[in-house]
Structures are given as structure tokens and as C-alpha cells.
Structure 1
Amino acid sequence: MLSSATLLLRPRKLLLLGMLGLGGCVRLGPDFQAPGEAWSRHWSSPSLEQASHRAQSPDIREWWQVFNDPLLDRLMADADASNADLKIAGLRVMEARARLGIAESGRYPQLQQVSADSLYFNRRQSGGSNPQDNHFWQHSVGFDVGWELDFWGRFSRAIESSDASYFATRANYEDVLVLLRAQVADTYFALRTTEARLRVAKENARQQQRNFEITEKLFNSGQNAELDLQQARTQYLGTLSTIPSLEDQLQRTRNALAVLIGQPPGGMPQLAASDGLIPLVDRAVLQDVPASLLLRRPDVRAAELNVAAQSALIGVAESDFYPSLTLLGSIVWSTDSLDGTSRSLDLIGGPSLRWNVFDHGQISNNVRVQDARLQQLIEAYRDKVRQAAREADDAAGGLIKSLERERILGTAEVAAKRSLVLASAQYREGYSDFQRVLDAQRALLEQQDNYLVARSNALSNVIALYKALGGGWYSAQPMVDAATRRQMEQRTDWGDLLDEPAVGQPAFPQPDEVDTHE
């Protein structure tokens, strides 16, 4: 009897296997195509060629080592471990991994439900020819399953979209790294520049204070006019007034750097113990051609992956045009406590077809909405590439011009120092008035300050060039630090989702790796 039932069910099993085999064979909607333009694959510029050279060291992932500053290396490591924006970006990656898991669950039966009921009945029937007073328990246990077959690629396209979105969040994490590296380096050297400007202001104030004291003595002895005294005093106090503003700027920059590396403001003892100089780097070191580096920028890759995610959603929307076939099944066992009643075991199963035949334009317009969003993202990607190229070219041109200005101001500073020496000597010998000395002092302070600012601008352009080419995207630190991971695991069972991906490779696929579920 069992074998005959098996023979009767065999055609149905074959039909079921055939439908399962067809599931997922058709994938509606467009397959992802990289939205890049031809010029971006070979782009460079004369300024960029002049402002950079090819070498293997330092690695562009750790480009700040070109400055050879151990303290800057330590600050970068501290920022990796403690920066709040970086932590939030890492947690968004974990969120995207969980969302991808939700999408992947569409490969399996969408309904898997176990139910159990135990109900008490108390029935009292009075009057008539057969009054009754019955009470009993009824028990039932059931299992329901519903599995919508993926005939049109609804679920596989949804997985493709979530997969691309996951990689986009990883690219966004690396973009935060790129921005963080540039911010730390820029803030650090802004701090060093302010320290140098403060030293120059204090040195000039001390010199001008000595001149003021000399003129005051000469005036009191009747050897000098009051005009010289007041001019010397005015210049000294004017220079002295710049010191508080520079000290305030120094404190604000120190606090900004502290927050970047995840420390409270007002600390940073490592900075107080070090008095670094402003380095001068004339060119950026690149390991690859600018076009490749440009397209490797994390924000550019994120924009491309957003296009891939949206492209798959068109297929999800188009699947609503077609019928959905769901396999339904139930197993229900029921009994009660009445004597003489039977127990039952019900096996129920079969296909269910649903088709939105008349939608009055709802489905077609939803497809158009998804397609319009896709085109918007394509245009946003192309604009992102153009903006990235502009940033790189601007930084390269800025570096070249900043270095030209730095060289001119360096020569001007030497001339200003010599002018002060000559003016002071001629004044002492009586060949010129005191105004020449004041003018020479004012010019020296101005040239020294301008030189420091020009040198700082050159450094900022070097940093901006590395940032524009996506340098600094790699970090050996985990996306979720150990303390945060323990806290999250105490609240929720994360399984293996908090495990780190393999290090040493960019955390985003190449264009032909976007769709991993073909």
C-alpha cells in the first residue's frame, strides 16, 4: 500500500521538482552595466603630472608617511581606533550585512509556521427534547508552509540589490577613512603652522619691545623725539595684540584634533611634548596612474554600487507584472477529550496562483519610478567622477603655485632680515631716521608670517591631492572595536556577522564582481 501511494505521488513530485527547477531561471530587469565614461579610464592633466611622480614608497594607503613624522603616525592610529564617525560608518556596514541576510532569506519558504491550540468548550443546551451539558478540551497541532517560487527573479534581484548596497556601505566606510586621514593631517599641520606663527610673533614682539625700551630711554634723556617713542610703542603693541588671537587659534585647533582622534578637548599631552617643524613636500608619490586611482576612490565606487543596487530594483518592480506561484502546504493533527470521537490528521498542499491583472498603471508607473531613480544615480556617478577629477587637478595646480609662492617668500624673508640689519646700523650711525627701522621690522614680520602660511598651503594641497585620489582607504583596525562588539553581543545574538572580512584587499568589488548571485 505504501509503495502504491508512492507511485501515485511520483508524477506530482516530478511536477514539483520541475517547477522548483524553473524558479529563478528568468530574471527580469536590466543587468548592471558600469556607468563610466571613456575619458575617465585614461584621464590625467599636466598639473597632475607635474605635481606627482611614480614610486612604490610610501604606499598611498598610508601616504602620510611621506612626511616622516612619528607623532603624525601615532595620531592616525589613534583616529583609527577612536574616531566617532569611523565607528558609526563601521556599524552601518554591520547593519547592511544584516539587511543582506534578510534579503537572502527570500531564497527559502517565506512562511514556515508552527501552531498549537488547546481550547476548552463548555456547552449547555436547555429546553427542547434533548437538553445537554457538555464540556470538553480540543487540541490541535499544525505546521504551515508557503513558498513563492522565484520565477521572475523577484528575490534574486532583491538579493543583488542588497548585495550591492552592502558593498556600497563598505565603500562609504573607506571614504570616511580617506576623509579622516586628510582631516587629521590637515589639522595637525595647521596646528604646527599656528605654533610657528606664534613663535615668530613672540620673537618679533621681544625685538620690538627692546626697541621701544631703547627709544623710551633716549626720549627720557632728551636725545630722541616723542614721535619715535610713540611709533615704537604702536608697533610693539600691534604685534603683541596678534599673540592672543594666535593662542586662541592654537587652542581651538588642538581641541579639533583631539576630537578627531576620539579624545576629550583640553588634553593632547603628546603635542605639548613635541615641537615639530612644518615639512615641505614638493610632489605626491603615486603607485598607479591617476585615472585608476580616481576610479578607485571609495566615494566613486560607492556611487557606482548605488547604481548597481538600483538597477536590480527595476527587475523587482517588473516582476509585479507577472503571476506569482506559491506552493502551500499544511499538516494538522487534532483531537478532543470526548469519549468516542475520532482523531484526525490532515495533509493539505497545492499551488496558489496570484496575478494582479488590472492595476490601473500602478505597476507600470512603479517601474518608471525605479528607472528614473536609476538614471539619476547614473548622472550622480558621472558627476562624482568629474568632481573627483576637478579636485585632483585643483590640488595639483594649487601645490605647484603654493610652492612657487613659498620660494618667492623665502627669498623675500632673507631680504627683509638683511634690510632690518642695514636700517638698524644706519639709524645707530645717524644716517637714517627711526622710521626706516620700524618699516624694516614690520616688513620682516609680514614676510615671515606669509612664508609660514605659504608653506602650510603647500602642505594642504599635498594632502588634498592624496585625498582627491582616494589615498588612505585602508585600516588594520576592525570596523567594530572589541569593546563595542562585546556590548552588542551582550544585547543581541549577532552570529558571525560581526566577524571582520579579509584584510589586505579593498572592501569593494570590482565592476564585474558586483553581482555575486548570478
Structure 2
Amino acid sequence: MIRALPNAIFRLPGALLLLGAVACAPLGPDFVEPDVGWLSQWQPTLYGQVVQDPHGDDISEWWRRFHDPVLNTLVEQARLENPELRIAGLSILESRAVLGIAIGQQYPQLQQINAEGAYVSERTSGGINDGDREFRSAEVAFDVAWEMDFWGRFRRGVESADAAYLASVTNQRDVQVLLAAQVASLYYGYKTTLRRIEIAHENVALQERSLEITRQLFQSGQESELDLQQARTQYLATLATIPSLRLGLTRQRNALCALLRRAPGDLPELDPADGQLPEPGHVALVGELPVNLLLLRPDVRTAAWQAAAQSAQVGVAQADLYPAISLFGTVSWQGNSLDAVGDVTTFAAGPALSWDIFNYGRLRNNVRAQDARLQQALENFQSKVLNAAREVDDAAKRMAETEASQKILDESLVAAERSLVIANRRYREGYSSFQRVLDAQAAAFAQSDLTALNRGEHLAAVIDLYRALGGGWRPATLDDVAPPWLREEMRERTNWGDLLDESVAVPPGHGVVP
């Protein structure tokens, strides 16, 4: 039995390798995307604002339905230059590198060369070997250690890093969605403000003529000073609205500049813009129902992948509770310049086991902490779906109400303009006082401004509904993630190998995350 022991020890590494090859399934839960029970029962009408149409809109580029070349240019420029979108793209490269780290952990974790050399000089006296002596020595060793993935620690690590990588891809899509909505909202906000400034100038011109008439009548003694001061008050009040509107215009333009990675100032793309606002009508979808689109929203997908990544971390933490089984090996050579001592070559190999037994609950509490984080991630996923449904319903209701308001405001504006015509005629004919004219002018100005404001609000609601449905993204290409000039700059700074040439992964749709 004793004689057989060395042979058994010699065969142990091969046995351990075989054991590692048929190791048990990884510890920890296998992630399954949680079911959103209420979603199948939710059948929203969306207040008649969304219709099914086989020839409907492609919501990936929903802004093109407005047929506005200026808006199309702004969105494309933002996709090329926006800092937040570029940061989201670079995070894809970061998570890809982190995935490479996790994959590398599955191979021998220690591959180390140690080299030492020494020069020794001695002087001795009072003995047989009296005199000077010198010699040189050197040692080179190559050490390898490989912890086998018996409990699935490294497989779960790869699973977590892979899910995190896919989460970074869907997060970049979510930034695309938000960016397109921001650009469109600011652009039509800018056009709405232009229209309000036009309305203010039109009314200033009208009220200035009335002021001039009352001034002439007062100077000729035909009117009292009261009419003159009332006309002047209304004229100046209308004139005072223009600076604040111009301030809003500047802020909207500067916000667009920031989205396009430009310093505040002129934006040549806006030069053709005027105060004309489109009438978009209802949102027409092809195929997918709004309920189905909720689970495909990029922020919902990101939450699902983040939960998958955290689920794998539970398995990583559980693996720490069990012994780590490793294979090690070392080859070393020792040599010196002494003739009396020869060179020595050593080879050693064998198994190793380490087990953190007395951890005082640290490892178990880490498992609990990771599981709590998983539950938080699952709750975050459910919250994202709920929030998506709320945003879709809110935007659709906002569309419906602003559309209803627009019909009323349009009729009210027609009435106000007609009232102004009648008031001017009755004043000229002497049947009413000038105060009726002033009141009619104020009402016409207010209704014109409200009509323009509501039309802009309706457009904002349409844009918000497309955003809530998750429209506005396209699969990212490598150039979308980092343009060629930026990749070249990164290559000059760091050796990226082939990572800057690999295409971006396409995450699967909703359901069980593989």
C-alpha cells in the first residue's frame, strides 16, 4: 500500500482534470426573466391616439414622419456628436474588455517567471582560505497555478460579464431614444417660440397703430388722455413679452448646441426654421401592439440584463463557500560559477486545496448581500415596466387632451379675431368706446398665443409618446460606438488588440435571458 502511494499521487492531477471536466453545474440561480403578470391583462385604448396600420410608421426613425429636413439633420448630427451617446458607446468597449477579463479567469490564473541573480565578493583572513573570493549565482523559475472551475465560479463570472456587456448595448440604445426625443422637443419648442414671437410682433404692430391714432385724436382734442394711456399701456405690455420670448429662444438653441457638442452660439442648421408647426395626427404602428413594445423598450431590456448579471454574481458568491481546487506546477533552474557545485533543475507539480473555513460568516453574508441585490434588480425591472406603461398612457392622454383643446382654441381664435374686426368698426362708427377695441386686441393676442402654445404642446405629446413606446434607436455599429478617428486615437494610447474591430453584439429580445 505504501509503495502504491507515490503512483497514486502522480496520477492525481490527471484525475482532478477529469473531475473538473465533468464538474457539477454552476452554483447559484439560473436567471429567468420575471413574468409581468398584469401586462397580459392590460389592454389600453390609449384614448384613440394609436392605431394599427400595415403602412404605419417605422418608430425607429419616427421623426421622419414630420417631413422636416432641418429636424432630420439635427437628429443625425446629434447621433454623431452627442457626448452622452458617445459615453454610452465607450461603455460598450469597457464592458467588452471586462468580459475579456472574466473569460481569462477560466484559464491558468498564475503564469509567472521569477529570475534572480547575484554577485558575491568576500575577503577572509587568519585562516586556511585567506584571501579574496568571488562567485556568481542565478535562478530562473516558471510557476503555473490553475484553479479549476469546479463550482462554476468562473463560468458565473463570464455569465455576469456577458450580461453586463449586453446591458451596455441596450443602454446605448436607450440613450439614442432619449436623444432623439430631446432634439425633436427642443426643435419644435424653438419653432413654437418663433411663432409666439411672430404673434407678438403682429400684435405690437396692430397696437402701435391704435396708439398712434389715439395720440392724434388726443392732440386734436377729440379723445381723452385716458384712452391714450390705456392704449400705451397695452402696447408696452405686449412689447414687454418679446424679450422673455427671445431669452427662451436662446436657451432652446443653446440646449440644442449642447446636444450637438457645440459651444453656445449660432446654430446654422436652424437658419431655415420658421414658426410653422406640423399637424402630426395619430400614431400609426405596424404589427406590434403598445403592450408588446413595452418589454422591448431599451431601458426595460437594460434592467433585465442588469438583473441577469446580478443573478450570476449570487453563484460567484456561493462558490466562495466551497474549497478551491487547483493544479500547480513549477520548473526552476539554479546555477552558479563555483566548480564544486553543479547546476540544479527542479520540476514539481501537484494538486492544491484552499478552503476559507473560519470566515466568521463573511462569505455567507456576502451571498445574502448578492441575493438582496438580485431582488433589487428584479424589482427595478418590474418598476421599469410599470413606468413604461405609465409614460405611454400619460403621453397618449396628453395627445388626446391637447388635440381636443386645439379644436376649441382654433374656434376661439376665430371668434376673437372676428370680435376685433367688429370692435374696430363700431368704434369708427361711434357706437362703442375705445376700451372695447383694447379689450378685443388683448383677447385676440392672448388667444393667438394660447393657440400656438397648445399646438407646440401637442407636438411635444406626440414626441413623448414615441419616446415612451421606445422608438428612436437603431442597432449600433462599430462607428456608432466610437468613430474611426476616436478608435485610432485610443489605439495610439493603448494596445487594444482586435477589440476595436469587433462588431457590436445584438442582444436577444425579451423572455428567458440565455
Please list, as runs of the form range in 1=range in 2, the aligned pairs for 1:433-472 lying within 5 A after superposition. 433-472=433-472
Q: Name the amino acid aligned to 1:330.
A: T
Mapped pair 1:241 → 2:240 = yes
Which residue number corresponds to residue 256 of structure 1? Answer: 255
Work out whether residues 204 and 238 of structure 2, in 8 Å CA contact, stay in contact via their aligned partners in 1: yes
Work out whether residues 161 and 309 of structure 2, in 8 Å CA contact, stay in contact via their aligned partners in 1: yes
Give the 3 Å change call, closer, same or farther, for CA 513–479 of structure 1 in structure 2: farther
Which residue number corresponds to residue 171 of structure 1? Answer: 170
Which residue number corresponds to residue 492 of structure 1? Answer: 494
Work out whether residues 187 and 257 of structure 1, in 8 Å CA contact, stay in contact via their aligned partners in 2: yes
Work out whether residues 120 and 136 of structure 2, in 8 Å CA contact, stay in contact via their aligned partners in 1: yes
SS of equivalent residue, structure 1 residue 27: coil
Deviations 1:375-434 (A, max 9, x none): 111111111110110011000001000000011000111111111111111111111111
Give the 3 Å change call, closer, same or farther, for CA 8–122 of structure 1 in structure 2: farther
Which residue number corresponds to residue 99 of structure 2? Answer: 100
Mapped to 2, the partners of 1:422 and 1:163 lie a distance apart of 73
Give the 3 Å change call, closer, same or farther, for CA 444–55 of structure 1 in structure 2: farther
Work out whether residues 120 and 137 of structure 1, in 8 Å CA contact, stay in contact via their aligned partners in 2: yes
Mapped to 1, the partners of 2:46 and 2:152 lie a distance apart of 49
Mapped to 2, the partners of 1:500 and 1:249 lie a distance apart of 44
- Shift in Å, 1:358: 2.3
Mapped pair 1:192 → 2:191 = yes
Mapped to 1, the partners of 2:467 and 2:444 lie a distance apart of 35
Please list, as runs of the form range in 1=range in 2, the aligned pairs for 1:66-465 lying within 5 A after superposition. 66-127=65-126, 131=130, 133-275=132-274, 277-287=276-286, 288-465=288-465
Count of residues paired in the alignment? 505
Which residue number corresponds to residue 65 of structure 1? Answer: 64
Q: Name the amino acid aligned to 2:484.
A: A
Mapped to 2, the partners of 1:108 and 1:341 lie a distance apart of 38
Deviations 1:196-251 (A, max 9, x none): 00000000000100011011111111111211111111111111111111111111
Structure 2, unpaired ranges of 5+: 1-6
Mapped to 2, the partners of 1:17 and 1:91 lie a distance apart of 39
Give the 3 Å change call, closer, same or farther, for CA 397–423 of structure 1 in structure 2: same
Mapped to 2, the partners of 1:169 and 1:42 lie a distance apart of 31
SS of equivalent residue, structure 1 residue 155: helix
Mapped to 2, the partners of 1:42 and 1:179 lie a distance apart of 28
- Shift in Å, 1:13: 6.5
Deviations 1:81-111 (A, max 9, x none): 1111111111111111111111111110000
SS of equivalent residue, structure 2 residue 499: coil
Deviations 1:59-83 (A, max 9, x none): 1110111111111000001000111
Work out whether residues 50 and 284 of structure 2, in 8 Å CA contact, stay in contact via their aligned partners in 1: no
Give the 3 Å change call, closer, same or farther, for CA 481–348 of structure 1 in structure 2: same
- Shift in Å, 1:55: 4.0
Give the 3 Å change call, closer, same or farther, for CA 18–126 of structure 1 in structure 2: farther
SS of equivalent residue, structure 1 residue 118: strand
Mapped pair 1:483 → 2:482 = no
Deviations 1:21-51 (A, max 9, x none): 134x430011001123122246441225544
Mapped to 2, the partners of 1:260 and 1:89 lie a distance apart of 14
Work out whether residues 197 and 452 of structure 1, in 8 Å CA contact, stay in contact via their aligned partners in 2: yes
SS of equivalent residue, structure 2 residue 228: helix
Which residue number corresponds to residue 510 of structure 1? Answer: 509
Mapped to 1, the partners of 2:223 and 2:469 lie a distance apart of 62
TM-score with structure 2 length normalisation?
0.94
Mapped to 2, the partners of 1:201 and 1:512 lie a distance apart of 54
Q: Name the amino acid aligned to 2:93.
A: M
**Larger displacement relative to structure 2 (40-49 or 133-142):** 40-49
Superposed structure 1 runs of 4+ greater than 6 Å apart? 7-10
Mapped to 2, the partners of 1:487 and 1:382 lie a distance apart of 41
Mapped to 2, the partners of 1:193 and 1:55 lie a distance apart of 32
- Shift in Å, 1:12: 5.3
Q: Name the amino acid aligned to 1:300.
A: V
Work out whether residues 478 and 500 of structure 1, in 8 Å CA contact, stay in contact via their aligned partners in 2: no
Mapped to 1, the partners of 2:67 and 2:327 lie a distance apart of 66
- Shift in Å, 1:116: 2.1
Work out whether residues 424 and 437 of structure 1, in 8 Å CA contact, stay in contact via their aligned partners in 2: yes
SS of equivalent residue, structure 2 residue 503: coil
**Larger displacement relative to structure 2 (72-81 or 335-344):** 335-344
What RMSD over aligned residues (CA atoms) do the two structures have, in Å? Answer: 2.0
Mapped to 1, the partners of 2:277 and 2:501 lie a distance apart of 41
Mapped to 1, the partners of 2:265 and 2:466 lie a distance apart of 30
Work out whether residues 78 and 262 of structure 1, in 8 Å CA contact, stay in contact via their aligned partners in 2: no
Mapped to 1, the partners of 2:265 and 2:69 lie a distance apart of 22
Work out whether residues 74 and 269 of structure 2, in 8 Å CA contact, stay in contact via their aligned partners in 1: no
In percent, how many aligned pairs have the same letter?
47
SS of equivalent residue, structure 1 residue 146: strand
SS of equivalent residue, structure 1 residue 45: coil
Mapped to 2, the partners of 1:132 and 1:335 lie a distance apart of 24
**Larger displacement relative to structure 2 (220-229 or 188-197):** 220-229
Mapped to 1, the partners of 2:507 and 2:303 lie a distance apart of 12
Mapped to 2, the partners of 1:10 and 1:360 lie a distance apart of 36
**Larger displacement relative to structure 2 (353-362 or 237-246):** 353-362
Mapped to 2, the partners of 1:193 and 1:203 lie a distance apart of 15
Mapped to 2, the partners of 1:182 and 1:508 lie a distance apart of 23
Work out whether residues 58 and 65 of structure 1, in 8 Å CA contact, stay in contact via their aligned partners in 2: no
Mapped to 2, the partners of 1:450 and 1:55 lie a distance apart of 36
Mapped to 1, the partners of 2:382 and 2:467 lie a distance apart of 19
Give the 3 Å change call, closer, same or farther, for CA 50–511 of structure 1 in structure 2: closer
- Shift in Å, 1:137: 0.9
